[in-house]
């Protein structure tokens, strides 16, 4: 569909996230410009104009909206949240109370809302899960349950055992039959991403605003029979470094280990995606033909859509038969940006 001004205005009325990053709407009566998904009251059609670049909007005298903050990276983790996460990751015995937040001029309600929105639990529940995740790893590495409990700041072994079982699903002494999937937020130029990893490699990489993100988490957790908990993993540092190099135009392929989870057919489809050279695209029909079943176009499209490892398993390189950029869970605008980036890397 051609991106006309009427279509852009309609998308803004609908707060359509698939148009994020493709245009910005400026309001003549207020002098501000917004994202397509801005929640502020929508102006009349005759009072707006559209720009394909934020610099262009600023050059025309508009200022950034304070509601949707169009100059910030999409869903970027606030700096104060990143500081809290770094502190918790650095010392498992740390417990940050509401009074500690107030002392730092941080409103506890704001922190609570952010964690509920982005992790589905409160900040204090998040801290408890993080402590248990670290204790789980200590026990897996051979430490005694008592030492793991004390290192996590628990004064009562019974309290630790109860908390551990509530979060992990088994008691500490039965951890041999249970797995933990580490979760981390990673910032990129196209928005914040969730990364998940196990010992074998990266098992999920998705933009945080992906539709049906909860289903992706649930599918991964069920497949691996594991609990997804915020925590560090040996593969995250390499992943972040390679993603940074990729977005800076300095990397053509990824070396970080992957741990792909799916049916036999899905894994074949995803493996085929990895064989599409950077800078090139394939249609769903072409992909199905390579698999030996030209009629499996819909099945190939479905498998592409539930790929859990974005960018590294490049489902963005598959397009419609007519050349349209269709079927990308992270948003068509991101698909376009990724393809443009990859052509720029090569040429």
Catalytic residues: 315
- SS3 call for 155: coil
Report yes or no: 62 and 55 within 8 Å, Cβ to Cβ. Answer: no
Residue 34, token pair as written in the block: 């917004």
Query: Which residue in 315, 319, 308, 270 sits closest to 291, CA to CA?
Result: 270
Is the sign of the CA dihedral 301, 305, 309, 314 positive or negative? positive
Query: Which residue in 264, 242, 224 sits closest to 312, CA to CA?
Result: 242
Spatial separation of the C-alpha atoms in residues 315 and 266, rounded to whole Å: 12
Spatial separation of the C-alpha atoms in residues 112 and 114, rounded to whole Å: 5
- Entry field: residues in the chain: 347
Helical segments of the chain, H only = 5-13, 54-59, 79-90, 98-103, 108-119, 123-140, 145-151, 157-168, 213-224, 236-247, 264-273, 284-290, 297-305, 332-346
Burial (Cβ within 10 Å: 0-12, 13-18, ≥19) of residue 255 = exposed
């Amino acid at each position: 569909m051609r991106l006309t001004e009427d279509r852009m205005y309609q998308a803004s009325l609908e707060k359509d996230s698939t148009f994020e990053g493709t245009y910005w709407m400026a309001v003549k009566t207020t002098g501000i410009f917004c994202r397509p998904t801005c929640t502020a009251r929508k102006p009349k059609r005759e009072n707006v104009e559209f720009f394909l670049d934020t610099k262009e909007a600023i050059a025309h005298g508009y200022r950034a909206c304070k509601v949707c903050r169009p100059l910030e990276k999409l869903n970027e983790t606030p700096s104060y949240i990143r500081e809290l996460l770094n502190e918790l990751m650095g010392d498992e015995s740390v417990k940050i109370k509401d009074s500690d937040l107030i002392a730092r001029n941080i409103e506890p309600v704001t922190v609570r809302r952010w964690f509920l929105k982005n992790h589905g639990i409160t900040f204090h529940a998040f801290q408890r899960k993080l402590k248990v995740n670290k204790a789980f790893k200590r026990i897996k590495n051979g430490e005694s349950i008592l030492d793991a409990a004390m290192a996590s700041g628990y004064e009562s072994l019974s309290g630790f055992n109860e908390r551990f079982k509530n979060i992990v699903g088994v008691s500490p002494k039965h951890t041999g039959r249970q797995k933990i999937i580490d979760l981390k937020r990673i910032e990129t130029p196209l928005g914040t991403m969730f990364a998940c990893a196990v010992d074998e490699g990266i098992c999920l990489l998705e933009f945080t605003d992906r539709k049906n993100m909860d289903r992706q988490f649930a599918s991964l957790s069920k497949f691996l029979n594991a609990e997804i908990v915020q925590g560090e993993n040996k593969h995250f540092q390499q992943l972040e470094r390679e993603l940074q190099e990729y977005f800076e135009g300095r990397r053509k392929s990824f070396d970080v280990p992957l741990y792909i989870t799916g049916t036999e057919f899905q894994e074949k489809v995803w493996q085929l995606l990895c064989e599409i050279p950077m800078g090139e695209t394939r249609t769903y029909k072409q992909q199905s033909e390579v698999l030996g079943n030209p009629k499996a176009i819909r099945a190939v499209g479905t498998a592409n859509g539930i790929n859990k490892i974005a960018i590294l398993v490049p489902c963005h390189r598959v397009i419609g038969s007519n050349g349209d950029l269709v079927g990308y869970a992270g948003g068509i605008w991101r698909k376009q940006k990724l393809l443009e980036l990859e052509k720029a890397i090569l040429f």
